[in-house]
Amino acid sequence: MTRHPPGPPPAALPGLLKKLAVDRLGLMREAAALGDAVRVVIGPKKLYVFNHPDHAKHVLADNNANYRKGIGLVQARRVLGDGLLTSDGDIWQEQRRTVQPAFKPTRIARQADAVAEEAAKLVALLRGREGAGPVDVQAELTGLTLGVLGRTLLDTDLGGHDAVAHSFEAVQDQAMFEMVTQDLVPKWLPTPGQRRFRKARKELYEVADRLVADRTGRMAGGEPPQDALGRMILAARRTADTTAARARLREEIVTLLLAGHETTASTLGWTLSLLDKHPEVRERVRAEARHVLGDRGPQVEDLHRLGYTTMVVQEAMRLYPPVWVLPRVAQEDDEVGGYTVSAGADVLVSPYILHRHPDMWEEPERFDPERFDAQRVAHRPRYAYIPFGAGPRFCVGSNLGMMEAVFVTALLTRDLTLTSVPGHRAVPEPMLSLRMAGGLPMTVTAAS
Ligand code: HEM
């Protein structure tokens, strides 16, 4: 028997569509207030929002084969094409097999050194701003995470981070615009956003092409490379259709850069903003960093010793999960939590909402790193906390992202005090990732 979850009355729809454009997080909260499962009917379209860990487990893990990537990512395909984040089925499986070994534990140890060096450069750069006006720390973190990705996955110095970061912003702005306008504005219209998008996409593809050309030259006759770029180039060579393979290679490189840099920079931005608001927590992070690291930079073995800092980062990702929604499309009819989901329906699972479920999280809005104490974690359902997703599409870069967030938080806090400018409010802006609206202007002083 067909059973539908509750949903807003048809009269509420115009208001909902407006909110989709201006207050997406508010919309998700309103949906959650209706229940753990919500159904919205918009003309012929059906949208389900599932807000319970068991539902997340079903959609993302147990019956993942029935759910392909959906809303938002469909728009992102215009630049990411069939890269690892947006592809499905056999293409996805092949790409995951190609890239996954670049993230294995033996490589993480080497990646730690690159993270430590990039973090030390950022500390030095910020030190140079001591006593000067505010710095947009979010922009600097974005540069740092791009630099780390260049060194760890592509074995290159990406240089000119700013241009790459701006291109990603233009691409995302347009993808989000197309999502909220439900693709009603034709793509051939030369709107300013559309023009910016095309220019940015061209620039990103040019960066990718340069990386491939440079690496191909270096690979001639040498050892088979173990990093992501080298592995992707070798995989592309095995494909008969070279034009398609070249296009795919670009998309794969741009995907890794996009998926890996904004998420980690967002985690760091939110963590630093929360530490600024909670000086007692900042002091504990500082004390831990001084105890574990002394004056030196971090190495991979330090990661498990920076336990409190790890809890702080985890709590920041609970409140502000960089990937705030996981969109899927049902392939066949299914049943989730006793409710019917029809084939073709859009399905949303939102870490932002799940991480605030009142049955799993006491006082969900309160910042409390102790929630990630091992004993308390053991008492919570596993799928109540999914900042890196779940099931086969689980983030391939989670270890790198986590290590980066913990090391950079520890080093910056050990050496500096970063203070938000008076009146600055950290407001989340849900784009493809959960950005901070207007960046993070902070002043820098040396840590006492
Ligand atoms: C703290 C930082 C990060 C967070 C919170 C994060 C979060 C996520 C989430 C939630 C997903 C699943 C998306 C879905 O199921 O629809 C994902 C996938 C992915 N992430 Fe991350 N990520 C982070 C860092 C990174 C890094 C450093 C990389 C390195 C390149 C990366 C690359 C990817 C890729 C390629 C995918 C797609 C995997 C697949 O579908 O097989 N991420 N990430």
- Degrees, nearest 5: CA angle 158-164-166: 155
pLDDT the model gives residue 443: 96
Give residue limits of the domains in the chain.
Answer: 10-446
Distance (Å) from CA 389 to ligand 1 centroid: 8
**133: CB partners within 8 A, 6+ apart:** 443
Give me the amino acid identity at 439: G
Say what angle helices 137-153 and 398-415 make with each other, to 10 degrees.
130
pLDDT the model gives residue 383: 97
- 49 φ, ψ (degrees, to nearest 5): -115, 120
**Coil/strand/helix, residue 217:** helix
CB 428 within 8 A of CB 421: no
Q: Which atom of ligand 1 is nearest to the CA of 92?
A: 41
CB 434 within 8 A of CB 271: no
Neighbours of 22 (CB within 10 A): 9
Q: Ligand 1 pocket: which residues have CB below 6 Å? A: 84-85, 96, 153, 255-256, 259-260, 263-264, 267, 317, 322-323, 326, 387-389, 393, 395-397, 400-401, 405
Q: How far apart are CA 64 and CA 60, in angstroms?
A: 5
Q: Is a pLDDT exceeding 90 seen at residue 189?
A: no
Q: Which of 60, 95, 263, 346 to mutate to test the pocket of ligand 1 (most atoms within 8 A of CB)?
A: 263
Nearest CA to ligand 1 atom 7: 388
Distance (Å) from CA 128 to ligand 1 centroid: 33
Nearest CA to ligand 1 atom 12: 389
Q: What is the DSSP letter of 299?
A: -
Between the CA of residue 421 and those of 130, 337, 411, what are the distances in Å?
A: 14, 46, 21
Mean pLDDT, the chain, as a whole number? 90
- Length of the chain as a residue count: 448
Distance (Å) from CA 50 to ligand 1 centroid: 21
When pLDDT is cut at 50, 70 and 90, the band that residue 183 belongs to is: low
Q: Is a pLDDT exceeding 80 seen at residue 201?
A: yes
Q: Name residue 327's beta-bridge partners.
A: 348
- H helix intervals, 128-220: 137-153, 161-180, 192-219
CATH architecture entry for 10-446: Orthogonal Bundle (1.10)
Between the CA of residue 298 and those of 114, 153, 294, what are the distances in Å?
A: 10, 20, 10
Distance (Å) from CA 323 to ligand 1 centroid: 8
Q: What is the DSSP letter of 334?
A: E
CB 55 within 8 A of CB 37: yes
pLDDT the model gives residue 107: 84
Q: Which atom of ligand 1 is nearest to the CA of 83?
A: 35
Q: Is a pLDDT exceeding 70 seen at residue 24?
A: yes
CB 389 within 8 A of CB 59: no
Q: Give the residue from 220, 274, 221, 239 showing the smallest Cα distance to 418.
A: 274
Burial class (CB within 10 angstroms; exposed 0-12, middle 13-18, buried 19+) of 76: buried
pLDDT in tens, 226-282: 789 999 998 888 887 788 888 889 999 999 998 999 999 999 999 999 999 999 999
Distance (Å) from CA 26 to ligand 1 centroid: 24
pLDDT in tens, 58-76: 999 999 999 999 877 767 7
Q: What is the DSSP letter of 224?
A: P
> pLDDT: is 274 or 212 the higher one?
274
Q: How far apart are CA 69 and CA 11, in angstroms?
A: 29
Name the least confident of 86-95, 149-158, 282-291.
149-158
Residue matched to tokens 């070279």? 242
